[in-house]
Amino acid sequence: MTLTTWYFEMRDRGELAAAGAPAEPVDLVRAEIPSPAFSKFLYTAVGSEWNWTDRNPWTDEQWREYLERPGVETWVGYVRGTPAGFAELDGTNPGEVELAYFGLLPGFIGRGIGGHLLSEGIARAWTLAERWPELQAPQRMWGHTCTDDSPVALGNYKKRGFKVYRTEVT
């Protein structure tokens, strides 16, 4: 089986092409208290649909160590109080923020929420150093997706202003 992975980046916050507001209100809230249980829930609730497996063996301690690092943030989109999706940002490398994970829970796919949630997550990435003054302001935001992910993922990233800078086929 062939797997194609696309790496994408944005080098200026002005490149963000924000999506329009979704038909139903989405509240974006930062999960400020590191919670391995909640992060595992989001990871598996979204990722089980797309074969996310790399973190399945993590212990609660590994989750906690990761989540407590300065510059790691989880932003959760809620629709009427229910988690609809999340964006996990990793700003631990100087001058850049990785969109480590992004996605919607299955019941919220196809409801016009993804572009909005991604836009808001990207906006939060560019302001990460304002919340973590010990970190360098981002000069670059990046992430990756692959053929195992949603078939609309790459298009959503491109519509928000990301440019593919590398493609790998394995």
Residue-level pLDDT, tens digit, the chain, 170 residues: 899 999 999 999 999 999 999 999 999 999 999 999 999 999 999 999 998 999 999 999 999 999 999 999 999 999 999 999 999 999 999 999 999 999 999 999 999 999 999 999 999 999 999 999 999 999 999 999 999 999 999 999 999 999 999 999 99
Residue 161 lies in a domain: no
Place of tokens 């850049």: 96
Q: How many domains does the chain have?
A: 1
Helix residue ranges per DSSP H, 92-159: 114-126, 128-131, 153-159
Residue 12 lies in a domain: no
DSSP letter at 135 equals S
Answer yes or no: is 56 within a domain: yes
d(Cα 78, Cα 53) in Å, to the nearest integer? 24
Determine contact, residues 89/128, Cβ cutoff 8 Å.
yes
| Predicted model pTM | 0.96
Residue where the block lists tokens 């992910």: 149
Q: In sequence order, which ranges of the chain are alpha helices (DSSP H)? A: 36-47, 60-67, 114-126, 128-131, 153-159
Residue 1: what pLDDT?
85
d(CA 80, CA 18): 22
Range of the domain at 74: 20-136
**Residue 123, in any domain of the structure:** yes
Is 79 within the bounds of a domain? yes
Residue 110 has a pLDDT of: 93
DSSP 8-state symbol, 158: H
The encoded tokens of residue 49 equal 């649909």
- Is residue 98 domain-resident? yes
> Is 2 within a domain?
no
Q: Which of 104, 82, 93, 154 is nearest to 128 (CA)?
A: 93
User: Is there a domain that residue 11 lies in?
Assistant: no
Extended strands (E) in the chain: 4-10, 27-30, 72-79, 82-90, 96-104, 140-146, 163-169
CATH number, domain containing residue 117: 3.40.630.30
